[in-house]
Chain A
Amino acid sequence: MREPERDRASRPPSPNGGPRIGVYVCHCGLNIAGKVDVQAVVDFAATLPNVAVARDYRFMCSDPGQDLIEQDLRDGLINRVVVASCSPLMHEATFRRATAEGGTSPFHFQMASIREHVSWVTADADEATEKAKALVAGAVRRVALHEYLEPRQASVNADVMVVGGGIAGIHAALTMADAGKHVFLVERESTIGGHMAKFDKTFPTLDCAACILTPKMSQVRSHPNITLWTYSDVVSVEGYTGDFTVRVRHRPRYVIEELCTGCFECIEKCIHKQGKFDDEFNEGLGKRKPIYIPFPQATPSVVVVDPETCIWFKTGKCPQTCVEACERDAFDFEQQETFDEVKVGAIVLATGFKTFDAARAPEYGYGTYPNVYTSLEVERLLNAAGPTGGEPILRDGTRPRSVGIIHCVGSRDERYNAYCSRVCCMYSLKLAHLVKERTGAEVYEFYIDMRAAGKGYEEFYDEILKEGTHLIRGRVAEVTDEAISPEEEGRLVIRAEDTLMGVVRRIPVDMVVLAVGLEPQSDAQEVRRLFNISCGGEGFFTERHPKLAPVSTFTDGVFLAGACQGPKDIPDTVAQAGAAAAEALAMVDRGYVMLEANTAFIDEAACSGCKTCVGLCPFGAIAFDEERKKAAVNEVVCKGCGICVGACPSGAAQQHLFTDAQIFAEIEGVLEYV
């Protein structure tokens, strides 16, 4: 094999001599070896220029596999490493560590992805082997040109931020605050608590949701290490791993938070004697005044004025009885948005979910028939603090004698969401129990499959069966008010195929409950961009690895907790919040992070001072020295995208680990042997 002259010419001086490359081809059990002829790849690698050692091993990521690399480096056989195995996104860090252990720069390493990019995606074994050889050749050609780089460190800010004050955010914030970290908890609504605060009971134990949640909420409020910012949102995030600068906007609530004691005298004395406007917390089933508190245990216990409905804001003509009633002079109708800027080392995102909009499935009649409810509405009806004081009564004030609960509304349905929302089966069973307990109604559940995987869930399902709830297996075709028998007159009829009996059934009921699925928040895309993370196809935030890094993201220092990552019940949400808190703590407590080496740099001799790069850098990392007419990269600010490098007309801007020479070498390598 020929080694082009210019490779030698452009090779930077290395403290441990010219390149002697070790190539290690991983079998990954049968994941690679089942398709790729590993021996042929090893034999091929041995013929490549500068390759001193070529070996294969069943699992390169195992300790014996890594030992192979370290031993060859220590024995002086090699000074560069190529591992042909899985994706670098999976094990690059592992093998860099092994390379460093062997006594050289961790960046004297290159990976060839012959699993994700070859064995798993190629049908033909011969073609797979050839492609693997090409990728190995590319890596070998490239690693010969890798510079000797020292790993860089950056210090980590000690404080942390949690975005979202549902049960996930609350748990993560408390965990980190208890560990002695200062936590900024940012919540968009006027109170923390999230969806869990709306529930009456929780499955499968039927604990009262408020009884287990509100103590945690008040702990957040009183914790010396937590700064709670409600009615606030994150508007910008700058900086990088370990050193984020986050700007938070506080929306005006027209009441000074520090002065309000939560006596609610002002609500009592509002010029509106009765609630008049749809109460968001009660899903619009109740009415509130323009000055209100979402629910009695709201945290912080501070009232909010809604300028959209307040007479003073709308007309400027109101006797301001609320202001009169306040003994603390807590009102400030001139309040404006304010901003805070904080520096944090890690961020936990716990922004939660929204429920499926039932009106999108018109066959179920939501919005057409008044007695069709969503499950979240029924949660409020069943809640003692809800609009009916915990009585599941219909809009006309009567009690339902029979209730139908329809599962999988918006879930497991290719028209809306293909995924299972995981919680609906269990909460539907819970609602069946509660409705039956409070009204004695006959309850019919229409399900596709009963998914009761979880501790105590199957037992709970058995309990509900024993209580006499009717379970009908089959997706509901429609909900209609067209009666074909006297019994159906004036009622809603649920038409469904009972797939166990093999007949189409019509069940007349007084109330229909739609078990709506869980969806990403409507602004998940904006939030994702703000924090520089990604979303899956369905719109939930993507974790770094589905199994081994379920709470980290591709942006180091940003962690995920709860249903923003995918549908989850409360136990899983709390477990994940704890995990996210622990990982954030691990990063912040260590005090430093290792930075990627792939920053840009300027070859001053080649720089013509054209300033093309200066304006292109999205992070303002390139300064121009007017005296010397040369550009200079601030490596601390540089994020390593290489945009400036691609644009530099004279090849003066370069990127560590992605120099032009390295990429040209890789291009040649992958094409050399095909």
Chain B
Amino acid sequence: MSEAARIQTDAPDRARPTAERAFEPKIVAFFCNWCTYTAADLAGISRMQYAPNVRVIRLMCSGRLDPQFVLAALRDGADGVLIGGCHPGDCHYQEGNDNALRRFEVLRRMLRDLGIEDERVRLEWISAAEGDKVQKVCDEITEQVRALGPLRLSVPRRVETDETPGAPAPRLVGQEAR
């Protein structure tokens, strides 16, 4: 089954069968280990309830974020992507979040070219003490993406992959790789 087809058939099944809940956005989040992931733990310890649509992937630093991760997530079925790092000046590795910000700005221009709305991909600085901000941001992005509706790319979501043994990653081809 193609990725695009799966998204349309599988996704909404579990949601409550009311009209406004028919579309449940899928959000992938990349959180840095030291600030934002810890903040998400704090939100948990504090029992702050938030939208279950956000799935967190832990990176050691937001500077590890390869823009391809965002593209891959959108290709693989995410309707939005959230990136969380330490506040400027607070990076555990001194300046990884600066790198993340610079890459994010470039990525954002590329996403606009692809017709992907700004609200779908968001970068937030969330310190280890800001569990409430994790709650707020996760709720916000879920609602914003819900309002935008499912992400529909003009290219097929599943694309050719590099079959070379030991290749580190599938490469995007066609329009997405521009």
Interface residues, chain A, with chain B CB atoms under 8 Å away: 4-6, 9-10, 87-90, 113, 115-118, 120-124, 126-128, 130-131, 134-135, 138, 529, 532, 534-537, 542, 554, 598, 603, 606, 616, 618-619, 639-643, 645-647, 651, 654-655, 658-661, 663-664, 666-668, 670-672, 674
Instruction: State whether B166 touches A9 (Cβ < 8 A).
Output: yes
Partner of A642, one of B63, B162, B164: B63
CB <8 Å contact, A127 and B61: no
Known: A10-B168, A128-B52, A667-B76. A121 touches B47 (CB 8 A): yes
B124 at interface, CB cutoff 8 A: no
Whether B72 sits at the interface, judged by CB under 8 Å, is yes
> Which of chain A's residues have a CB closer than 8 A to the CB of B77?
671-672, 674
1/0 per position for B154-175, CB-CB distance to A under 8 A?
Answer: 0000000111111111100000
A117 and B168 form a contact (CB under 8 A): no
Cα distance A130–B55 in the bound complex, in angstroms: 11
Contacts of B141 in A (CB 8 A): none
How many residues of chain B are within 8 Å of chain A by beta carbon? 64
- Give, as a whole number of angstroms, the nearest-CB distance from B145 to chain A: 13
Q: Give B22 Cβ to nearest chain A Cβ, in Å.
A: 14
When A121-B48, A671-B26 are in contact, do A89 and B11 touch as well, CB less than 8 Å? Answer: no
Chain B residue contacts of A646, Cβ below 8 A: 63-66, 99-100, 103
A6-B163, A120-B47, A661-B168 known; A671 vs B28 contact (CB < 8 Å): yes
**B73 at the A interface (CB under 8 A):** yes
B14 contacts chain A at the CB level, 8 A cutoff: yes
Residues 56 to 85 of chain B near chain A (Cβ within 8 Å): 56-61, 63-66, 68-69, 72-73, 76-78
Complex CA distance for A663 and B37, rounded to whole angstroms: 16
Q: Which chain B residues in 87-109 approach chain A with CB under 8 Å?
A: 89-90, 92-96, 99-100, 103
Main secondary structure of the interface of B (DSSP, over half): loop
Of all A-B residue pairs in the complex, the 7 with the closest CB atoms, nearest first, are A116-B44, A642-B64, A641-B93, A643-B63, A641-B61, A660-B169, A670-B55
Residues of B within 8 A of A640 (CB): 60
Extra pairs beyond A10-B168, A529-B90, A642-B60 (12, CB < 8 Å): A10-B166, A87-B41, A116-B45, A135-B55, A534-B127, A534-B129, A619-B93, A642-B96, A655-B64, A660-B66, A663-B69, A672-B76
By the criterion CB–CB under 8 Å, are B49 and A10 in contact? no
Shortest Cβ distance from A660 into chain B, in angstroms?
A: 4
* Complex: A674 Cα to B55 Cα, angstroms: 10
Query: Would B63 and A122 count as touching, CB distance under 8 A?
Result: no
Docked Cα-Cα span, A606 to B166, in Å, equals 10
Query: Do the beta carbons of B64 and A134 come within 8 Å of each other?
Result: no
Where the two chains meet, the residues of B that have a C-beta atom closer than 8 Å to any C-beta of A are 10-11, 14, 24, 26, 28, 33-35, 37-38, 40-41, 43-45, 47-50, 52, 55-61, 63-66, 68-69, 72-73, 76-78, 89-90, 92-96, 99-100, 103, 127-130, 135, 161-170
Answer whether A642 and B161 are a contact pair too, CB < 8 Å, given A122-B52, A664-B169, A670-B28: no
- In Å, the complex CA distance between A10 and B166 comes to 4
Asked whether, in the complex, the Cβ of B55 is within 8 Å of the Cβ of A121, the reply is: no
Give the chain A neighbours of B48 by CB distance below 8 A: 121
Given contact pairs A120-B47, A532-B92, A598-B60, A643 touches B99 in the complex (Cβ within 8 A): yes
Q: How far is the CA of A651 from the CA of B128 in the complex (A)?
A: 30
In the assembly, what is the distance between CA of A639 and CA of B91, in Å? 13
Please pick, from A88, A124, A536, A643, the residue contacting B64 in the complex, using a CB distance under 8 A. Answer: A643
Complex: A661 Cα to B89 Cα, angstroms: 30
Residues of B near A643 (CB, < 8 A) are 61, 63-64, 93, 95-96, 99
Q: Which residue of chain B lies nearest to A532 when distances are taken between CB atoms in the complex?
A: B92
A663 & B57 in contact (Cβ 8 Å cutoff): yes
- Contact among A128, A134, A529, A645 for B66, CB-based, below 8 A: A645
Cβ–Cβ contact A542 & B129, under 8 A: yes
Nearest CB of B to A459, in Å: 35
A117-B40, A661-B169, A663-B69 known; A671+B94 contact, CB < 8 A: no
Q: Which residue of A lies closest to B76 (CB)?
A: A671
Q: Is the CB of A659 within 8 A of B60?
A: no
